[in-house]
Every structure is written in C-alpha cells, then in structure tokens.
Amino acid sequence: MATESFPPPSGTRDFLAAEFEARERAFATVRDVFARFGFQPLQTPVFERLEVLTGKYGDEGDKLVFKILRRGEHEATGEADLALRYDHTVPLARVVAAYGSRLPTPYKRYALAPVWRADRPGKGRFREFVQCDLDVVGSASPLADAEVVSALYAALDALGVPGFRFMVNSRKVLMGLLEVYGVPADAGGGVLITLDKLDKLRPEAVIRELVEGRGQFEATASSLVADLTAPDSITRIRKELTNSSIGQEGLAEIDRLLDLLSATVPRERIAFVPSLVRGLDYYTGVIYEVTAPGMPGSIASGGRYDGLIGRMSGGAETPACGGSLGIERILPLLTSAGEKPASALDVAVTVLGDDHADEAFRMAAAVRRAGLRTGVYMGSSSKLARQLKWAAAEGARFCLIYGDRERDAGEVIVRDMTTGEQTTHPVDQVAGSFAE
C-alpha cells in the first residue's frame, strides 16, 4: 500500500467513534419512531443481481450504478453480474415479489441503510450514503399516506430538526390543471418538469421555458404560472378545477390527508402548496416535501405511487405509498455541540509498574461489572503524569491511581479528572465508589 493511498475511496467516508456514535444515535431515534408506528425493518443484501437493477433508473441512473465483476474464470470477460443497490425501492419490490403473502398485509416496512451511486463526489454529496425509507405496500387507504406523513413528522420532531415544514400536493391536482389548460397528454410530463423549477427560477423564466422549451401558448403558460404562484393560489386552483373530475379527486385527497393529520401534525407545520411537483414521474396521488431553514432543497419527501411496485416486480398492480428522510442532509442540522462522545471512558485505570497490573486489571473488571466504560493503561511508561495525560486524552471522567503506597495501604485513589479532586477508597470497594 503506497503512502499516498490511505484515504477511503473517493466519495466515501471513514467514521471514527464520535461521528459514528452521533450518526447511530440519530438512526436509533428514527428506528424507534418508525417502530412505534408499526413499521417493520427490512434488510436486503448490499448487492442485487444486475438484471434486477438494470432499466429501473433511466439511462442517467443506470450510469451511476456500481457494477460487480463476475468472478473466477468469468472475470476476464469484463462482465458484471451483480450491482450495489442504488436505492431501497427496487429491493423492496423484489422482496414483495419474492415473499408475497408471507408478508403482512399491508406491508409497512422501513429501511435505514447505505446505498451507492457513482455520482461526482462534492460538498455534501457522497457515493456511499444512508437512505432512510418507509413505505406501505398493499393499501390504497388515505390512512396509509397519513401514517407515513405522521411517522416522518414524528421522526423529524424526535430528532429535533428546527423549523421544518411539510408542503403537500397531489399529482391529480396537477393533472387536473393540465387538463383544464388543455395541455396535451404527451406534453404533460415536460410541462410538469418545467413547473417543478418554480422554487428555483423566477416565474418569467419558467413561462419562457414553457413556451420555448415545451411548446405551450404564451397565454396558457402565463396563466398557469400565475395560478401556481399567486398569494391566493389555493383559491384560484380550487376554482380552476371545478369541472375537472381528476382535479376534484386530487383536492379531496389533500383535504382528507390534512384532515387526518390534524391529530398528529401541528397546523403551522403543513400546508397545501399547489406548485409542488416532485421530480419523479411515478407518483400517482398525494405528494409532499419537507423543507427546513438552513438547508436548500428538501430534507424529506414522499407520496403515493400505485403503479411502481407491480411494474418493478412484474406482478399485479399494487397500491403503495412511502416517504424518505434525507438523513444525510438532516444530520448537519442537528445540534450535538457540547455532547461528550459516548466512546469516552468513564474510568481510566493506571498501571504504575508491571507488578500492579494484576490489581489494576481486577479493579477494571469490578468497575465494568458496575456498567462503567473502563480502560486500562497499556503503554510502556510507568510514570503517573504520562498516564494521567492518557486518561485525559481518553476523555475519562475518573482515573484510578494505584501504586506502591496504595498497595501497602490496601487502597486506591479515585481522581475526578474534571476537578482534580482525589478521594481514597479500599481496593475492594472501588466499584461501589461510583455508585452514587
């Protein structure tokens, strides 16, 4: 291994103790919330057979899949037969197809695990990153959507994300608008992609793209954009959709969802935002995104996607909805300042000469039995000053000092590493000295 080749692969990270534990604490919080909502964990292998992934993410996505070379005599072919998972949705579809009726109905599952994408690494963009999905497969009920949104809300709340807010819309509202404005079916997808830019571009720029890029009439484009961006946007949209049955369905869906959520999500945290589009074209019903101050883009999102699971698994059409926490984007928003890393020692035990090692080891065992995180000095110095420095570097709250004098007296000194205060205890009662 050359000296210049020590960092982890491009776009990946090593997590040493403090960062690992901060992440795990957040993950445990999320898992607890999802479990409380009756979602079950699912863990799939890190790789899938290549044919399971191929063609699921479009041409651009397929290029970002990490493919695994065939092995043994087949390695020389340069062909791949496996690939690292790109998301948790395709593995979910495979599991639904594989286990069928052996899964609960509906199947409420969460997955909190890394995925891999060969994106160009950049600030906050990784090639190995954790995705956190929860989905309800097999229920068309608005209760399923409400449960997913409630669980996302509860998780963000439990994590302590400040000031986050849900925006809700329905694909059917957008379809209704396209219908009302006479946008031809085959142009609808492109128009939505352009409308999705309303949160980033000025309205005039979006109108220009609708006209020049999507072939819409100037009047249609202006009016559509005005409806979606006006301060009274919701009233306008409701009026526009009076005669669209799909539009009415969408509005009813949103009203029903907000109604159900009144028990779980505070009013000021959620709103109907008719301009919300969500990029992915597989959504069929309600859609939502969560924003938070200090983080551009969304920190969570989801919606109903009734066709996808059946299409991916080659089975019957299966109603489904789900959401995703952008956990890698959420972690930087959490304040863990001042928190002592959990990996710091409670008690550091000095070894002031080889002949004291046995007693030091025995004391460490006793203190550990009392549940304290304990380390024994293993370096080559027998100097107290050197060992106290080690204890401090380990973040220890207490240090046990046991040398010739203490042995002769059958005692041990307990040093409070913060105050420097020292108390003396009989050797066989040292564990008890931490009990208070």
Q: Which helix (H) or strand (E) holds 65?
A: none
End-to-end CA distance of the chain: 51
Question: Mask 35-74, x = binds a second copy (CB under 8 A)?
Answer: xxxx-xxxxxxxxxx-xx----------xx-xxxx-xx--
Has 214 been labeled as part of a binding site?
no
Least distance from a second copy to the Cβ atom of residue 128, Å: 5
Residue 401 contacts a second copy per CB under 8 A: no
Question: Mask 294-333, x = binds a second copy (CB under 8 A)?
Answer: ------------------xxx-------------------
Window 143 to 182, contacts with a second copy (CB under 8 A): 143-144, 146-147, 150, 154
Least distance from a second copy to the Cβ atom of residue 368, Å: 5
Q: What is the DSSP letter of 294?
A: T
Choice from 204, 235, 361, 424 touching a second copy (CB under 8 A):
361
Choice from 86, 88, 106, 388 touching a second copy (CB under 8 A):
106
Buried b vs exposed e over 333-346: b needs ≥16 C-beta within 10 Å?
A: beeeeeeeeeebbb
Which CB atom, from 231 or from 380, has the smaller least distance to a second copy? 380
Has 284 been labeled as part of a binding site?
no
160 within 8 A of 335, measured Cβ to Cβ: yes
Window 377 to 396, contacts with a second copy (CB under 8 A): 377-380, 390, 393-394
CA 86/CA 61 separation, integer angstroms = 9
Least distance from a second copy to the Cβ atom of residue 175, Å: 24
Has 256 been labeled as part of a binding site?
no
CA 10/CA 122 separation, integer angstroms = 10
Least distance from a second copy to the Cβ atom of residue 369, Å: 9
Q: What is the DSSP letter of 318?
A: -
**Dihedral (Cα; 198, 204, 205, 211), 10-degree rounding:** 100
Choice from 141, 235, 242, 422 touching a second copy (CB under 8 A):
141
| Measured CA angle at 340 (ends 336, 343), to 5 deg | 115
Tokens representing residue 125 in the block: 């963009």
Has 117 been labeled as part of a binding site?
yes
From the list 231, 251, 254, the residue with the least C-alpha distance to 240 is 251
Has 283 been labeled as part of a binding site?
yes
| Residues annotated in a binding site for L-histidine | 87-89, 117, 131, 135, 278, 282-283
